[in-house]
Amino acid sequence: MKLSNLKFANIITVIAFLSLSLTTLSCKEEVAPQPDKKLAITNIEPIAGCAETEITITGENFSLAVNSSGNSTNVVKIGNTIMTLIGFSTTKLKFRIPFSMAAGTYPVTITVGNNTVEYPQKFTVQPLPTTYPAEVESYNYVIGTQNIGASYKFTGDSKLIEPAKRMWEMGSNIMKIHLGYSTNTAAELQKVGNENKMIIDMPFNHYFFWVYTDYNQWWKDGMSASDSIAEYSNMYNLTKYLLQTYNNTNKKFYFGHWEGDWLLTETNPAMTAVDPVRIKGMIDWLNIRQRAIDQAKLDVPHSNVDVFHYVEVNRVVDAMQNNYDRIANRILPYTNVDFVSYSSYDAIGHSDYSSTNSALVSALNYIESKLKPKPSISGKRVFIGEYGYALIGSDGVSVQNSATAQNTRSKYVMKSAITWGCPFVLYWEMYNNEVVNGVQRGFWLINDKNEKQPIYYTHENFIKAGKAWVNNYFTTNKKLPSYDEFKAWAITSL
């Protein structure tokens, strides 16, 4: 009996112990689980910066996990703004200050799961500098527009000066204008009140000129001796004048012309074969211009200023697919031009974006394959001299694009061209120049009601962010980024 009582007592003790243990475990499950490893921020470098500044947070036990969208599960906030991470590991998180953040001082927090940690020192978002070092201001930001034949204006300035001012206000350092027709273009620029000279004196750094010595394109019937002398003299004197006048200004000038395949075929897209005399005349014309520019650069001492020569092609698909007589296949291989400008409408007119990319890249590759090597110029030598999407068709009635579609399609061209390596991508244009029966076709950044379009803001925001990024790179590395480094940034920013 005593034994049984002892067993019974032992059983009661065990039951009581188990009951207490279960109760204790139950209580523990109701408490939020503690992390095995403590989340911590040990350093933020730098602790202040403006838009596009790259920030590195160093710490412990950050997450390597990503969500269903492929984004890091580390939530980094400056104030209430979530940062987009561009790199992460268990000890480092990297991001750039977004362009949208207002200047001010903000707390920095990191959240992983249910755990949040705040850095003891606050982060200062600095305003964008109003001006940058000359090296940053003159850097090639690739994307730009042009100022030719504006059909409206809103101020007392001329239709040439006003759009130029708007381009500068937008932040661009690229300008494209038509210098006109003259046997002495340098002398024309020096005349009192010459508006082209007024624009060249503005603080742009990359200038593209349509420049002609003769209105009738005398090369079309073959270049005579007197024609050749006049062409050479004009290009030589213009180059000499610009090198001397703008020495040490960080300006670069590019001499070229409007769509050359229309000049070659007299704007006849059905012309498959071109008179050999006309072909040779154009080859001679381009080579004379190049020789004149090259010789002037040798003869004139200069620093931090340069002049280049380009030919503009616009019927590349005809040559590539059908072997029609065009500049790319019949003229370009027999010249030594510095650059080729591609007025790219024949490759970007597809509604399918992937087709646009494929056609554009194929055309760029084809043009490049026809260029003679030029070791003195690094990088790709084919750029987009014109592209754009009208809102209204050439009939003045049909709708081609909305403002949103115009912006979306243009951004796709920008990204494709920069990815390929184009040194410039020039949109047609700041103010629309095409009017059909009183109807504006809508090739514009600012419309005829003085309204900035979505594509305007794409240019403005890209350029401002680009300058901030280049300035930060320049400050950090004591040198300017290479084209490839800038390209990598640009592709992710468009």
Q: What is the pLDDT of residue 317?
A: 96
317 within a domain of the structure (yes/no): yes
Asked if 143 and 243 sit in the same domain, the reply is yes
Query: Angle, to 10 degrees, between the axis of helix 353-370 and the axis of helix 403-420?
Result: 40
Q: Residue 73 sits in a domain of what CATH number? A: 2.60.40.10
d(CA 245, CA 223): 31
Q: What's the number of domains the chain is made of?
A: 2
DSSP 31-96: SPPPPSS--EEEEEESSEE-TT-EEEEEEE-----B-TTS-BS-EEEETTEEP-EEEE-SSEEEEE
Asked if 74 and 223 sit in the same domain, the reply is no
Asked if 72 and 179 sit in the same domain, the reply is no
Asked if 198 and 114 sit in the same domain, the reply is no
Q: Please report, in tens digits, the pLDDT of each residue of the chain (494 residues total).
A: 333 443 434 444 444 443 434 333 333 344 444 445 799 999 999 999 998 789 999 999 999 999 887 889 999 999 998 998 989 999 999 998 976 688 999 999 999 999 999 999 999 999 877 689 999 999 999 999 999 999 999 998 899 999 999 999 999 999 999 999 999 999 999 998 899 999 999 989 999 999 999 988 899 999 999 999 999 999 999 999 999 999 999 999 999 999 999 999 999 999 999 999 999 999 999 999 999 999 999 999 999 999 999 999 999 999 999 999 999 999 999 999 999 999 999 999 866 666 667 899 999 999 999 999 999 999 999 999 999 999 999 999 999 999 999 999 999 999 999 999 999 999 999 999 999 999 999 999 999 999 999 999 999 999 999 999 999 999 999 999 999 999 999 998 88
> By the 8 A CB rule, do 386 and 310 touch?
no
15 within a domain of the structure (yes/no): no
Q: Final residue of a domain: which of 125, 146, 177?
A: 125
Q: Final residue of a domain: which of 98, 125, 152?
A: 125
Q: What is the pLDDT of residue 20?
A: 39
Q: What is the pLDDT of residue 469?
A: 95
Q: Is 1 helix (H, G, I), strand (E, B) or coil?
A: coil
Asked if 115 and 158 sit in the same domain, the reply is no
Asked if 115 and 149 sit in the same domain, the reply is no
Count of CB atoms situated within 10 Å of the CB of 168: 15
Q: Final residue of a domain: which of 82, 106, 125?
A: 125
8 within a domain of the structure (yes/no): no
Q: What is the pLDDT of residue 71?
A: 84
11 within a domain of the structure (yes/no): no
Q: Residue 144 sits in a domain of what CATH number? A: 3.20.20.80
35 within a domain of the structure (yes/no): no
Range of the structural domain that residue 44 is part of: 40-125
437 within a domain of the structure (yes/no): yes
Asked if 412 and 367 sit in the same domain, the reply is yes
Overall pTM surpassing 0.85 (yes/no): no
Q: Is 383 helix (H, G, I), strand (E, B) or coil?
A: strand
Asked if 160 and 250 sit in the same domain, the reply is yes
